Amino acid sequence: MVSFGAPLIVALAFSLTFFLPFASFLPALLSFTFSVFSAPLAAPEAPPDCTEMGKKKKGRPRARKESAASVDYADSDGNILTLRQELTPGTIAKVNEDLGRPGASAEDGWQRRQEMLFERLAVKWEISGLPLDEQATLLGRLRMASSEERDWVRATIDKHLERFIPELIGSPGL
């Protein structure tokens, strides 16, 4: 049996000062207080068996997806832009959609199409020996590229489309 001497007295004193206006409840409160504080402490329950939690189901192994064929293009500074050789028909249809939105200029639609092509085609861009291969990083780097770099990327993509994905030549925005 565990003794709760000091906490019991504090709880009793608090109960008396708080519930004094409600004296009719005092006997019930006292019996509850004594029953709670005089009861022996129960041993803590053992945790549930957690051996199965967090384990991945073992199904059939996933086939490793082969990376699409790509082509490297180098500029005069030695930077290398790697572009994907083919796109799925759904991606080609998405790029060919008219991106004209109310209030958007033709320049905005053309710019968005160029970024969309770059997003879908660019696999890697090595600039001054630093390889960039994450999509968000690639697009961010394109957005902060100089006008000469953007012109080179645009010309490279146009040449790449003529060679590998002619369905995108002459599409809206070009």
Residue of 12 and 125 predicted with greater confidence? 125
Q: Which amino acid is at 165?
A: I
CA–CA–CA angle 169, 173, 174 (5° rounding): 40
pLDDT digits (tens, 9 = 90+) for 4-33: 556 666 666 666 565 556 556 556 655 655
pLDDT digits (tens, 9 = 90+) for 48-58: 665 665 666 66
The answer to whether 81 touches 156, Cβ cutoff 8 Å, is yes
Model confidence at 149: pLDDT above 60: yes
pTM of the model as a whole? 0.60
The answer to whether 99 touches 173, Cβ cutoff 8 Å, is yes
Mean pLDDT of 81-94: 93
| Average model confidence (pLDDT) across the chain | 78
Structure-block tokens of residue 9 = 């007295």
